[in-house]
Amino acid sequence: MIGVILGTRPEIIKMSPVIRECEARGLDFFILHTGQHHSYEMDRVFFEELDLPDPDYILDVGSGTHAGQTAKIMTGVEEVLAKEPPEIVLVQGDTNTVMAGALAASKLQVRVGHIEAGLRSFNRRMPEEINRVLTDHISDYLFAPTENSRKNLLAEGIADRRICVTGNTIVDAVYQNLDISRRKVNVLKDLDLKPREYFLVTAHRQENVDNRTRLKEILKGLAGVQKEFSLPVVFPVHPRTEKRIKELGIGVDGLNLTKPFGFLEFLQLESQAKLVLTDSGGVQEETCVLGVPCATMRYDTERPETLAVGSNVLVGTESGKILEGVRSAAMSPRGWENPYGDGIAGKMIVMVCAAARPQ
């Protein structure tokens, strides 16, 4: 029995290839949704579009402070696992759901598999960095996406025998859904956009959007990009960011703000964009896989592979630097190699779990 724990948009998307593989192999598994993300466009839409089975358990923890949310997740996960103890729990990524789920499981002596293990920004001011480090150190199986992430784990003293380099399940998700997205949606037509003649933006990092000065600078930078290139800037707004923009009451002239898109729509927008500006982890990877240049509005990244192959540049959060970064990234050559594997990470992860002997 495998217990799949998830709770936010990126976890649903990146866990989908693992869930598909469990289904394909006829394995016994359940899905526990913590309810960290709960709005239709941050949660349900992905189950529908990716044709995933409904969660077996939904905790409904919702939003809150870090400690409050973490505590609620741990209590809820503990209750479920005590009732239905799986042989292994799988978590993916670096959210509070991941860290709290892994911690609750490991204290019940349930083995933990961490998908996307070993990523490090080396910036402890990011809540996600704390979650990554803690989760890696209490996990039994570390599914590292690249050799670089394996090295990070080894450097922290984690035994090599616990690490398996699988590639990133986002490659599986992109490959599995790109054609479906071409057949099922035509979001460029809906938004009156032409291929390669628009920018796509996402921004939701706590350290960016909860900081008034930074958020203002980012919006100013984006407006500058729109003005200089005279191209639409499409910006599906994450609920955290929506809240902060409203609180600030600042203008967002020239930007095409929308609700968050489903995965099929977003994938299509990404694949046809001139360039993507983001502070998202998953979007840095997806653009790299899709061959679309990315400018990351941060000062560090736990995805250095994207910098190394030249798909991504760190442009920071100052308006002038954002514009400068976009100017040069938009001109730089494409055609880099995807460092995140060949789209079989989900299969490898499930194979390892299925072969693991009961304790």
Query: Phi/psi at 191 (nearest 5 deg)?
Result: -100, 5
In the set 2, 5, 6, 9, which binds ligand UD1 (CB under 6 A)?
9
In the set 2, 5, 9, 303, which binds ligand UDP (CB under 6 A)?
9
Q: Is 135 in the site for ligand UDP (CB under 6 A)?
A: no
Q: What separation in angstroms does the CA of 174 have from each of 18, 28, 163?
A: 13, 25, 24
Q: What separation in angstroms does the CA of 74 have from each of 54, 65, 344?
A: 21, 14, 31
The residue among 53, 103, 54, 109 whose CA lies nearest residue 76 is 103
Binding positions for ligand UDP, 63-102, rule CB under 6 A: none
In the set 123, 140, 176, 239, which binds ligand UD1 (CB under 6 A)?
239
Q: Is 96 in the site for ligand UD1 (CB under 6 A)?
A: yes
**Helix (H/G/I), strand (E/B), else coil: 199:** strand
In the set 21, 49, 116, 128, which binds ligand UD1 (CB under 6 A)?
128
Q: Is 240 in the site for ligand UD1 (CB under 6 A)?
A: yes
Q: Which is nearer to ligand UDP, 110 or 215 (CB)?
A: 215
Among 37, 38, 204, 238, the one annotated catalytic: 204
Distance CA 250, CA 242 (A): 11
204 in catalytic set: yes
Q: Which is nearer to ligand UDP, 10 or 17 (CB)?
A: 10
Q: Which is nearer to ligand UDP, 178 or 351 (CB)?
A: 178
Pair 180, 353: CB distance under 8 Å: no
Q: Which is nearer to ligand UDP, 260 or 304 (CB)?
A: 260
Q: Is 283 in the site for ligand UDP (CB under 6 A)?
A: yes
Question: For ligand UD1, what does the binding mask look like between residues 40 and 79, x meaning CB under 6 A?
Answer: --xx-------------------x----------------
Q: Is 14 in the site for ligand UD1 (CB under 6 A)?
A: no
Q: Is 130 in the site for ligand UD1 (CB under 6 A)?
A: no
- Nearby residues of 192 by Cβ (< 8 Å), 6 or more positions away: none
Q: How far is the CB of 107 from ligand UDP (least distance, A)?
A: 25
Q: Is 33 in the site for ligand UD1 (CB under 6 A)?
A: no
State the chain's maximal CA–CA distance in angstroms.
61
Burial class (CB in 10 A: 0-12, 13-18, 19+), 262: buried
Handedness of CA 68, 123, 154, 18 (dihedral sign): positive
Q: Which is nearer to ligand UDP, 139 or 284 (CB)?
A: 284
Pair 280, 238: CB distance under 8 Å: no
Q: Which is nearer to ligand UD1, 127 or 310 (CB)?
A: 127
Burial class (CB in 10 A: 0-12, 13-18, 19+), 56: middle
Burial class (CB in 10 A: 0-12, 13-18, 19+), 338: buried
Tokens in use for 28?
A: 């016994």
Binding partner of residue 244 among ligand UDP, ligand UD1, none, CB cut-off 5 to 8 Å per kind: none
In the set 261, 304, 326, 338, which binds ligand UDP (CB under 6 A)?
261
Distance CA 332, CA 328 (A): 6
Q: Is 216 in the site for ligand UD1 (CB under 6 A)?
A: no
Q: Is 260 in the site for ligand UD1 (CB under 6 A)?
A: no
Binding site for ligand UD1 (CB under 6 A): 8-10, 36-39, 42-43, 63, 94-96, 127-128, 204, 238-240, 243
State the catalytic residues. 204
Q: Please report, as ranges, the residues that interact with ligand UDP according to CB under 6 A.
A: 9-10, 13, 202, 204, 236, 260-261, 263, 266, 280-283, 286
